[in-house]
Amino acid sequence: AAAVSQFEALEYEANFFEAEYEKKIGAINTAIGAVSDAGSKDIVLTYDASVPPQGFNVSVSGDKLIVAASDDDGIFYGWRYVIQQLLINGSVSAASQSPSVLERSISLDNGRKYYSVEWIKELIREMSWSNMNTLVLHFSEEMGLGLETKLYPWLNGRDGRLCTQATLSENFDDRYLTQDELREIAAYAKAYHVELVPSLDSPGHMNYIVYMFNQQAKKEGGFTFTYDGK
C-alpha cells in the first residue's frame, strides 16, 4: 500500500507512517502525489478543511482507505488509528474522531525524581498512541532541581531522601537532565505531536534551592540568601 497526497507537507507524516507501520506490522511503501493518482488498496492521507481541529475522518472509497484531517495533528492521529485498528482487529473500520478539548496533558515531576531521556521518550510514545498532546515537565521542587543550570551548577540534582530541610548526605541524587538532553527530548516530542510545557515552582516550593544557596554561601562567602519559608 502507499500513502499519497497532493500536498507536499504530508511527506513527513507519510514517511513516519511508513516507519511505524513497518515496525509494528510489516513493510509498506509511501508516495506523495494527487489523491486521484492513488492506486488499488492504497492508503491516502489528505487534508479536508471541514474536519475539526486535531480530528480525523477515516473512510473507504472503493478499494482505497482515506485518512482526512484539517491539520497535521489530525493526520498523525488518523494514521495511528489505522495502525491500531489493524493490530487489534486485523482490519480498519470507518471512523470520525475529534477531541473534546485541544490540550490533553500529563505532568511529570522531574524535581522530586530523576527520569532518564529514554524513559521520557517512551512516555511520549505512549502518550501519542492515546492522542495526548501536552507534557508538563516540572523541574523545580522542594526536593531538587531536575534541569541543568550552567550558571549555578551546584544546584543540579536533588535530595534523594525527599527531605526538604535536612542536611544532604550520601542519599544526594546528582542526576538531572542537561540542556542538550532537553533539546533532544523537545525534538522527539515535536515528532510525536506532543508539546512540552516547562514548570518551575516559585516563590513556593523553594526549600532545596534556598538550602543549596546557603551552602554555597558558606563556601564562597560574600553573599547571603535568606528565606522565611512563607
Kind and range of the H or E run holding 122: helix 117-129
pTM for this model (two decimals): 0.87
The string of pLDDT tens digits covering residues 194-215 is: 999 999 988 778 888 888 888 8
* Complete DSSP assignment for 166-219: SPP-TTEE---B-HHHHHHHHHHHHHTT-EEEEEE--SSS-HHHHHHHHHHHHH
Q: Average model confidence (pLDDT) for the chain? A: 88
Angstrom distances, CA of residue 10 to CA of 33, 43, 68, 153, 193? 10, 13, 11, 43, 14
Mean pLDDT, residues 67-75 taken together: 95
Band of the pLDDT at 68, cuts 50, 70, 90? very high
Query: How high is the pLDDT of residue 143?
Result: 84
Band of the pLDDT at 80, cuts 50, 70, 90? very high
Query: How high is the pLDDT of residue 198?
Result: 95
Band of the pLDDT at 167, cuts 50, 70, 90? low
Q: Is cis: bond before 203, omega within 30 of 0?
A: yes
Is pLDDT of 223 > 90? Answer: no
Tell me what percent of the residues of the chain surpass a pLDDT of 90. 59
Q: Which residue has the higher pLDDT, 210 or 82?
A: 82
Is pLDDT of 132 > 80? Answer: yes
Is pLDDT of 73 > 80? Answer: yes
The string of pLDDT tens digits covering residues 6-65 is: 677 788 899 999 999 999 999 887 777 777 788 888 888 999 999 999 999 999 888 889
Grouping H, G, I as helix, E, B as strand and the rest as coil, residue 128 is: helix
Query: How high is the pLDDT of residue 186?
Result: 97
Query: How high is the pLDDT of residue 228?
Result: 65
Query: How high is the pLDDT of residue 208?
Result: 83
